[in-house]
Chain A
Amino acid sequence: MSNDLAALSITTAAKKLAAKEISAVELARACIANIEKKDPLLHAYLEVFADVIAQAEMADKRRASAGRGEAHPLLGIPLALKDNILIEGRRAGAASKILEGYVATYDATVTAKLKKAGIVFMGRTNMDEFAHGSSTENSAYGPTKNPHDKTRVPGGSSGGSAAAVAADMALGALGTDTGGSIREPASFCGIVGLKPTYGAVSRFGLIAMGSSLDQAGPLAKTVADAELLFGTIRGKDPLDSTSIDFQGSTLDQGSQGQTFKKIGVPWELFKTGVDKDVLENFSAALKKLETQGFETVDIALPSAGLALAVYYIVMPAEVSSNLARFDGVRYGLPHKGATQWEDYAKTRGEGFGVEARRRIILGTYVLSSGYYDAYYGKATAARAQLTREVAGVLNSVDAIAMPTTPTPASRLGEKTADPLSMYLLDIFTVTANLTGNPAISVPMGTVAREGKDLPVGIQFIAAQGDEKTLFALGKAVE
């Protein structure tokens, strides 16, 4: 067994902290030692905070003065945050040049909740610029590399968060997921990633990408860790009117003592485009569930084949609106032209990277007069149809299972020249964002590529507000 404290799960570290076997300072030092050793190659962090040890000392003091059993289980746990989640007084930039120099003026609600619990914030992690991408190669500050094979991508857009956790440079992390940005990197890096139900976690203080799709959620080494983090950040927030309080429902009973039995598998969707060995791992994971008493049934999701196309209309439409606020007038790095219009055009032309510009143009197109009905109007109708189908299926099964991604991690640069090939990595993850359902990715073994074992994940989708089913299923396969 490794002596590396940073390799502990959050749940185990929390027990050791509570028993005073280890201190928060020792945990933080262990993470920093790994960062110094590994991050120059991996580039998971955009910034490691200078006051990590001071934060850990504060956490140790809080524990010393707290009564027995009173401390939050996350007190003193080192966590990394994606660069699009605001922490008051610290830099935040969504890995974009347009936010160069921006310092957050307030805490995101998830940040405030983690502060209250006593988290030690390790730093801000790399991401695709404004969360636009599936590989972290769209970061304005250079790509992150996959800890399992440094010639490959960690996935994205929360690739820095996933790599930081997989390489023991933080015990857990938060990311955001608009079309798979937590689950896909979790799958590629061999860890657990949860996209909560739309509205379960407040979006206040996240740098918005697609407002009807975005959710913040945990990346962690175990399902129990993800459950603990989700339990801490969830809840209705008066500052986010789309947040919903699921507390008081059956959901608060935790993931123990489940009686559900049925898992739906949309086999039709996997006939083409999924690597053979990924599908073999998927079937093996389902067998494992069957030996534990679960029943798997073939289900049909006729509109799911359209999900990615729907997503690539709805998402850029929302991106083009959300990114309109970045014009250099109120924050960020302005570029000057001859007129105000030129100021805007230059600031945005030089501040946004290629993919952000591509999505702004695409979003502007699908929303323009003459095209709106054929694209955006039709896409919202197809989205409603898909939502009904998923809700209908979940009336007869407890969860839907799919591979998280059709392939393992791609090589760096493999998909950057052809945006559509990159988009196809999200084919199985976008559905849950379009329908608002919660979804989790849990490791389901590895596949060999060029002599390296690369992790792949299995994804479960449950009814809205039913994260407990996801945690129970996740624990059954891990």
Chain B
Amino acid sequence: MISREEIENLAELARLEVHDAEVEALQKDMAGILAYVEAVSAAEIPNGLAGRDMSSLPYNVMRDDTPRTQDDPLWAKEEALRQAFPTSEGGYNVVRKIIQKDE
């Protein structure tokens, strides 16, 4: 069983507010799911199979590192992206000061 503190720590890492009642529900759900996926941790997997089996892919994908030009249809999307900002000022996205002074 995952402890209350562990759930709270995971929620903090994931920047997620969870309420007290939900912590308990998550402890119970996680116990069930982890017991099910435990089969994977216990399974015997042949050596040398770490990571995705790239040999199953048809070929690797490469492209040149070229900057976008104005004839690119995505070039004109800047204004639309700005309009999606929840709060904007003078064309900039308004965010809070990230670094706070220690009290």
A residues contacting B by CB (< 8 A) are 88, 102-103, 105-106, 199, 212, 238-239, 241-242, 244, 246, 306, 308-310, 312-313, 320, 324, 327-334, 339-341, 343-346, 348-350, 352, 354, 357-358, 360-362, 364-365, 368, 374-375, 377-385, 387-388, 391, 418-420, 423, 435-436, 464-465
Pull 8 A–B residue pairs with CB atoms less than 8 Å apart, ordered by A: A106-B80, A244-B58, A345-B16, A364-B14, A365-B2, A375-B37, A382-B43, A465-B58
**Is A241 a contact partner of B96 (Cβ separation < 8 A)?**
no
- CB neighbours (8 Å) of A381 from chain B are 45, 49-51
Q: Closest 3 interchain pairs by CB?
A: A349-B17, A384-B53, A105-B80
**CB of B32, distance to nearest CB on chain A (Å):** 5
- A330–B16 touching, CB < 8 Å: no
| B63 → A minimal CB distance (Å) | 7
CA distance A241 to B37 in the complex (A): 31
User: Are A361 and B80 in contact (CB-based, < 8 A)?
Assistant: no
Given A340-B97, A358-B29: A352 in contact with B16 (beta carbons within 8 A): yes
Inter-subunit contact B16/A361 (CB<8 Å)? yes
Q: Is B1 an interface residue (CB 8 A)?
A: no
A436: chain B residues at CB < 8 Å are: 56-57
Chain B hits for A105, CB < 8 A: 77, 80-81, 83-84
Q: How far is the CA of A212 from the CA of B54 in the complex (A)?
A: 13
Residues on B with beta carbons closer than 8 Å to the beta carbon of A238: 63
Q: How far is the CB of B69 from chain A (nearest CB, A)?
A: 13
Q: List the B residue with the shortest CB-CB distance to A244.
A: B58
A334-B87, A375-B37, A380-B50 given. 5 additional CB < 8 A pairs?
A306-B40, A312-B33, A332-B86, A334-B86, A378-B45
A358 and B53 CA atoms in complex are apart in Å by 29
Query: Which of chain B's residues 68-103 have a Cβ closer than 8 Å to chain A?
Result: 73-74, 77, 80-81, 83-87, 93, 95-98, 100
Contact A241 B33 (CB under 8 A): no
Q: Hey, which chain B residues are within 8 Å of A330, CB to CB?
A: 84-86, 93
| A343 CB, nearest partner CB in chain B, Å | 7
Q: Would you give the shortest CB distance from B86 to chain A, in whole angstroms? A: 5
Contacts of A320 in B (CB 8 A): 14
- Contact between B14 and A387 (Cβ–Cβ < 8 Å)? no
- Proximity string of chain B (30-64) to chain A, C-beta cutoff 8 Å, 1 when within and 0 when not: 10111011111101011001111100111101010
Q: How far is the CA of A357 from the CA of B7 in the complex (A)?
A: 12
Of B11, B16, B36, the residue contacting A420 (CB under 8 A) is B36
- Once the chains bind, are B30 and A365 in contact (CB under 8 Å)? yes
Q: Shortest beta-carbon distance, B54 to chain A, in Å?
A: 9
Residues of B near A343 (CB, < 8 A) are: 96
Contact of A310 among B40, B52, B57 (CB under 8 A): B40
Closest A residue, CB atoms, query B54: A384
- Most B Cβ at <10 Å: residue of A102, A340, A418: A340
Contacts from B to A (Cβ < 8 Å)? 2, 7, 10-11, 13-19, 22, 26, 29-30, 32-34, 36-41, 43, 45-46, 49-53, 56-59, 61, 63, 73-74, 77, 80-81, 83-87, 93, 95-98, 100
Q: A309-B37, A381-B45 are in contact. Are A435 and B17 (CB under 8 A)?
A: no
User: Smallest CB–CB gap between A39 and chain B, Å?
Assistant: 29
Which chain B residue shows the least CB distance to A384?
Answer: B53
User: How far, in whole Å, are A190 and B4 apart by their CA atoms in the complex?
Assistant: 44
In the bound assembly, the distance between CA atoms of A368 and B9 in angstroms comes to: 11
A308 contacts which chain B residues (CB < 8 A)?
36
- Distance in angstroms from B25 CB to nearest chain A CB is 8
Shortest CB-to-CB span from B68 to chain A, Å, is 11
Q: Which of B7, B39, B84, B95 contacts A331 (CB 8 A)?
A: B84
The residue that A348 contacts in the complex, of B16, B41, B81, B83, with Cβ under 8 A, is B16
Q: Is the CB of B33 within 8 A of A419?
A: yes
Which B residue's beta carbon lies closest to that of A361? B10
> Could you say which residues of chain A place their CB within 8 Å of the CB of B32?
418-420
Q: How far is the CB of B6 from chain A (nearest CB, A)?
A: 8
Contact assessment for B41 and A378 in the assembled complex, using a CB-CB cutoff below 8 Å: yes
